[in-house]
Amino acid sequence: MDGLLLGAGLLLGSYVLIYYNFIKAVPCMSPINLKGKTAVVTGGNTGIGKMTALELAQRGARVVLACRSKEKGEAAVYDIRKDSGNNEVIFMMLDLSSLTSVRSFATAFLSSEPRLDLLIHNAGISSCGKAKETFNLILRVNHVGPFLLTHLLLPRLKANAPSRVVVMASAAHRRGHLDFFRLDRPVCGWQQELRAYADSKLANVLFARELATQLEGTGVTCYAAHPGPVNSELFLRHVPGWLHLLLSPLAWLVLRTPRGGAQTPLHCALQEGIEPLSGRYFANCHVEEVPTSARDDRAARRLWEASEKLAGLTKEGTQNNSPQLGSPRSPLAQVATDPAPSRFRNL
């Protein structure tokens, strides 16, 4: 009996140690009030996005939940309004897997919302589920859709500078590898999905880096944020019911809560004084070094050009009905065409 009690005590003690050292999130310490500011949170209906949106609403921001499901989006609006006491929370339809939907969202947003201060690219997928697309769905949702959305909303962000873009990345970017010849290949099977997820998260980190370089001097800054390992639907959404039942308690024990996961993206969105770190990768509310693959300026530039094509922003792309980033008509034309040395080359 004594042995059992000792064992249970040791187990509990070890868990408490692990919890406080590795699971519990470092909180965002910014005291900033957001009255009069507008934020867009993609995928704000659940998980980390919903908790991020709730915190922004509690600080007084007008928050647009950009979600692909009207039903889930409106349910989240109801919850967030109730929990924050802020009625300035609205739903707008956005499906990042469709470039047409991204454009419709941007048109609707720009015609109805006079401000944009914070653009939080939170939505993401790790699996294609039952979808059988002819393109790389994971890259489309996690990177290409957000790339196009940033491009379309950039004039409003610049008009409201200082403003910020937060790209939800992941530590998985460390395992990523971008094959520029097969970026848009369809993904099939869980092993390819895991690889495609890591690749898309590397794309997120490189995108934030290149965007920061191009936006220097505009007052718009951007950051890649890793929320930590979070107990959400991200990896469990498409697993069979029995496995879900088995893994859920384990996930509850060893992963942080979505509220905890929201702390680093909130830090990147709100913390004053981090502007000189624009383009960098944050985890646990601190800037973190990334591997060489994620600070390769040539790869970042190449990804940018490939993304313009995938997003239909160049002649080779499917749509060419708006100025492209880096084209003479683009708001970023001047800086984008200059191969200026990046401030981050040696970081």
Ligand X SMILES: NC(=O)c1ccc[n+]([C@@H]2O[C@H](COP(=O)([O-])OP(=O)(O)OC[C@H]3O[C@@H](n4cnc5c(N)ncnc54)[C@H](OP(=O)(O)O)[C@@H]3O)[C@@H](O)[C@H]2O)c1
Judged by the rule CB under 6 A, the positions of this chain that interact with ligand X are 42-43, 45-49, 67-69, 72, 94-97, 122-125, 141, 168, 170, 226-227, 229-230, 232-234, 237, 258
**Which CB sits closer to ligand X, 234 or 336?**
234
Smallest gap from Cβ 2 to ligand X, in A, equals: 39
Smallest gap from Cβ 48 to ligand X, in A, equals: 4
**Which CB sits closer to ligand X, 47 or 279?**
47
- Write down the residue that tokens 């920061």 correspond to: 212
Smallest gap from Cβ 208 to ligand X, in A, equals: 13
Smallest gap from Cβ 332 to ligand X, in A, equals: 24
Smallest gap from Cβ 279 to ligand X, in A, equals: 18
**Which CB sits closer to ligand X, 69 or 293?**
69
Label each residue of the chain as H, E or C: CHHHHHHHHHHHHHHHHHHHHHHCCCCCCCCCCCCCCEEEEECCCCHHHHHHHHHHHHCCCEEEEEECCHHHHHHHHHHHHHHHCCCCEEEEECCCCCHHHHHHHHHHHHHHCCCCCEEEECCCCCCCCCCCCCCCHHHHHHHHHHHHHHHHHHHHHHHCCCEEEEEECCHHHHHCCCCCCCCCCCCCCHHHHHHHHHHHHHHHHHHHHHHHHHHCCCCEEEEEEECCCECCCCCCCCCCHHHHHHHHHHHHHHCECHHHHCHHHHHHHHCCCCHHHCCCEEECCEEECCCHHHCCHHHHHHHHHHHHHHCCCCCCCCCCCCCCCCCCCCCCHHHHHCCCCCCCCCC
- Residue 341: CB atoms within 10 A of its CB come to 9
Q: Residue 115: what residue type? A: R
**Which CB sits closer to ligand X, 226 or 280?**
226
Q: Give the tokens for residue 217.
A: 């001097």
- Write down the residue that tokens 């499901």 correspond to: 69
Known catalytic residue at 197: yes
From CA 21, how far away is CA 13, in angstroms rounded?
12
**Which CB sits closer to ligand X, 84 or 231?**
231
Catalytically annotated residue among 19, 78, 197, 223: 197
**Which CB sits closer to ligand X, 258 or 279?**
258
Smallest gap from Cβ 231 to ligand X, in A, equals: 7
**Which CB sits closer to ligand X, 121 or 301?**
121
183 HSE (CA, 13 A, CB side): 21
Smallest gap from Cβ 234 to ligand X, in A, equals: 4
Cis omega (within 30 of 0) for bond into 162 = yes
- Write down the residue that tokens 């509850």 correspond to: 252
- Report the catalytic residues: 197
